[in-house]
Chains A and B, each alone.
Chain A
Amino acid sequence: MPRPDASAKLAQAKPKDRSGLRNAIIAAIAVIAVVGIVVAIFATRGSGNTAADGPKGSNPGGKGVVAYPGKAAEGAPVVDLYEDFQCPICKQLETTNGSAIDAAAKAGKIKLVYHMMSFLDDNLRNDGSKIAANASFCASDAGKFPQFHKAAFAAQRPEEQAQQGDTFSVNEVKGYASKMGLSGSALTTYQQCVSSDKYSKYVTATQTQSSKDGVNGTPTLKINGQALDQNQMGGLLNDPGSFDGILAQYAK
Chain B
Amino acid sequence: MTAMTTTKDDLVTDATTAPRRDITAWIGLVLRLIVGAVMLWAGITKAMNLSETQMATRAFQILPYELAGAWGLVMPFVEILVGALLVVGLFVRPAAIVAGLLMVAFIIGIISVWVRGISIDCGCFGGGGTTKEPAYPMELARDIALFACCAWLILKPRTKFDLDSKLWG
A positions within 8 Å CB-CB of B: 1, 3, 6, 9-10, 13, 15-16, 18-19, 21-22, 25-26, 29, 32-33, 36-37, 39-41, 43-48, 119, 122-123, 208, 211-212, 214, 216-217, 220, 230
- Residues of A contacting B118 in the complex (Cβ-Cβ under 8 angstroms): 214
Is the CB of B87 closer than 8 A to any CB of chain A? no
Is A3 a contact partner of B12 (Cβ separation < 8 A)? yes
Is the CB of B93 closer than 8 A to any CB of chain A? no
Partner of B10, one of A9, A36, A212: A9
26 contacts between A and B (CB under 8 A): A1-B14, A3-B12, A9-B6, A13-B5, A13-B169, A15-B169, A16-B169, A22-B167, A32-B81, A36-B74, A36-B77, A37-B74, A40-B71, A40-B74, A47-B65, A47-B66, A48-B64, A48-B65, A122-B49, A122-B55, A123-B52, A211-B59, A214-B61, A216-B58, A216-B128, A217-B130
Question: Do A211 and B58 form a contact, CB below 8 Å, given A1-B14, A45-B66, A122-B51?
Answer: yes
- Residues of B contacting A3 in the complex (Cβ-Cβ under 8 angstroms): 11-12
Is A6 a contact partner of B129 (Cβ separation < 8 A)? no
Is B65 a contact partner of A18 (Cβ separation < 8 A)? no
Select from chain B the residue with minimum beta-carbon distance to A48.
B65
Is B65 a contact partner of A216 (Cβ separation < 8 A)? no
Partner of A22, one of B5, B73, B119, B168: B168
Is A119 a contact partner of B55 (Cβ separation < 8 A)? yes
Distance between Cα atoms of A48 and B67 in the complex (Å)? 9
Q: How large is the interface on B (under 10, 10 to 19, 20 to 34, 35 or more residues)?
A: 35 or more
Is the CB of B120 closer than 8 A to any CB of chain A? yes
- Residues of B contacting A40 in the complex (Cβ-Cβ under 8 angstroms): 70-71, 73-74
Distance between Cα atoms of A122 and B54 in the complex (Å)? 11
Instruction: Produce 1/0 per residue, B85-115, CB < 8 A to A.
Output: 0000011000000000000000000000000
Is the CB of B20 closer than 8 A to any CB of chain A? no
Is B55 a contact partner of A9 (Cβ separation < 8 A)? no
8 Å CB interface, B146-169 against A: 167-169
Is B73 a contact partner of A43 (Cβ separation < 8 A)? yes
